[in-house]
């Protein structure tokens, strides 16, 4: 499926909340439009998303990264995003990567709504999904009209703006970086083909039709128009870092040093950096020793998401479940990190998530 369609509904019973139903596939061609549309909703005042994924049949790695970035941005702004009705094919990918620990996932909209109303409390027992109801929309505040959704995102139904809050002084959100404009060149002897030079890494690409693309070398997103004009989009947030590590001392020490560099650049003090590195080293050791019985040829996965105010780390393995009851396990990690969670992987193994705020 080459495009996405959006159906947006304001949730009257929850302030600044929207039900977002998406149909299609989130892949290289649609991910820019997908993130643009969700960014637009945030600019319109929505901070809490219930993302209905029943109509999403496929999500690639770039799409998963976009989901993580949107969720991080919403949490930083005091909101959040929960997922409902995940398609079985997509659920398999979430299970394999251990993303269940990154996202709040519910069976239906009512459970998701209960989560937001409970401010993070466990969802109530499943209840039949219900429509949000037809209520008279609150007149929108005077503001500039919302930007039209990206062409790659397909048709969308306009959302009713949330009720106007009492006037207060707020710092406006930073403007999105302006895209870099370039002009493609026709290729002699190949009618309909365009030659495009990536504005970020200078690799020469050959394209045969207009649309949204991702550079295979540097992963920059760009869009080719019918008239040959090319727009290169700057990243709005740091990408999610993914790596697969062997059960060796070199990998453990390298990961700790790498995260130490990230933490210092974010603004952590030296003492906090040392605590973070100790927590990471301890977690790696627990996986190697208790999940894998010190087998150096086995591997585990690490995902790192960093913003200007916090760092989130997730480990996932396919070894034995690490028993923590009555044992001194993950002591340094639990002490050093602001949040720590250890779960059994749905396919076997462990999912360990932790985060720390500056």
- Give the pLDDT of residue 143: 42
- Give the pLDDT of residue 98: 65
- Give the pLDDT of residue 146: 41
Q: Is the pLDDT of residue 245 over 90?
A: yes
Give the confidence band of 133 by pLDDT, cuts at 50, 70, 90.
Answer: very low
- Give the pLDDT of residue 125: 34
For residues 300 and 247, is the Cβ–Cβ distance under 8 A? Answer: yes
Q: Is the pLDDT of residue 6 over 50?
A: yes
Span 85-98, average pLDDT: 78
- Give the pLDDT of residue 177: 58
- Give the pLDDT of residue 148: 40
The SS3 call for residue 20 is strand
The better pLDDT of the pair 223, 140 is held by 223
Two tokens, residue 266: 């974010």
Span 61-80, average pLDDT: 80
The SS3 call for residue 292 is coil
What residues have CB less than 8 Å from 227, skipping those under 6 apart? none
Place of tokens 């890494």: 201
Report the 10 Å Cβ neighbour count for 192: 9
293-304, pLDDT tens digit by residue?
999 899 999 999
**Which domains are seen in the chain, by residue range?**
5-120+151-156 (3.30.750.24), 180-233 (no CATH), 241-357 (3.30.565.10)
Give the confidence band of 235 by pLDDT, cuts at 50, 70, 90.
Answer: low
Span 141-164, average pLDDT: 47
Report the 10 Å Cβ neighbour count for 83: 23
What residues have CB less than 8 Å from 141, skipping those under 6 apart? 161, 164
- Give the pLDDT of residue 314: 94
- Give the pLDDT of residue 315: 95
Give the confidence band of 153 by pLDDT, cuts at 50, 70, 90.
Answer: very low
Q: Is the pLDDT of residue 129 over 60?
A: no
């Amino acid at each position: 499926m080459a495009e996405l369609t959006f159906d947006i509904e304001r949730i009257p019973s929850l302030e600044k909340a929207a039900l977002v139903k998406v149909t299609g596939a989130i892949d290289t061609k649609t991910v820019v439009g997908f993130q643009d549309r969700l960014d637009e909703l945030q600019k319109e005042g929505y901070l809490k998303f219930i993302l209905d994924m029943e109509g999403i049949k496929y999500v690639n790695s770039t799409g998963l990264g976009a989901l993580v970035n949107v969720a991080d941005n919403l949490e930083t702004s005091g909101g959040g995003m929960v997922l409902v009705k995940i398609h079985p094919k997509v659920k398999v990918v979430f299970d394999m990567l251990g993303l269940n620990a990154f996202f709040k996932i519910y069976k239906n909209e009512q459970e998701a709504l209960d989560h937001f109303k409970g401010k993070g409390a466990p969802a109530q027992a499943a209840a039949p999904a219900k429509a949000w109801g037809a209520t008279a929309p609150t007149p929108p505040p005077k503001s500039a009209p919302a930007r039209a959704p990206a062409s790659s995102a397909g048709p969308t139904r306009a959302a009713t703006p949330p009720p106007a809050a009492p006037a207060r002084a707020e710092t406006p959100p930073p403007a999105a970086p302006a895209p870099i404009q370039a002009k493609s060149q026709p290729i002699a002897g190949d009618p309909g083909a365009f030659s495009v030079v990536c504005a970020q890494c200078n690799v020469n690409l050959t394209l045969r039709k207009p649309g949204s693309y991702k550079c295979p070398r540097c992963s920059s997103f760009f869009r080719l128009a019918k008239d040959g004009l090319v727009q290169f989009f700057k990243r709005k947030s740091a990408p999610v870092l993914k790596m697969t590590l062997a059960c060796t001392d070199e990998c453990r020490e390298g990961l700790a040093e790498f995260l130490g560099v990230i933490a210092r650049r974010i603004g952590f003090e030296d003492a906090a950096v040392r605590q973070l590195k100790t927590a990471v080293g301890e977690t790696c050791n627990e996986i190697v020793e208790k999940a894998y019985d010190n087998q150096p040829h086995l591997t585990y996965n690490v995902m790192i998401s960093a913003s200007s105010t916090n760092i989130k780390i997730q480990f996932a393995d396919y070894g034995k479940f690490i028993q923590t009851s009555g044992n001194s396990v993950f002591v340094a990690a639990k002490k050093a990190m602001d949040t720590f969670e250890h779960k059994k992987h749905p396919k076997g193994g462990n999912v360990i998530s932790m985060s720390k705020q500056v």
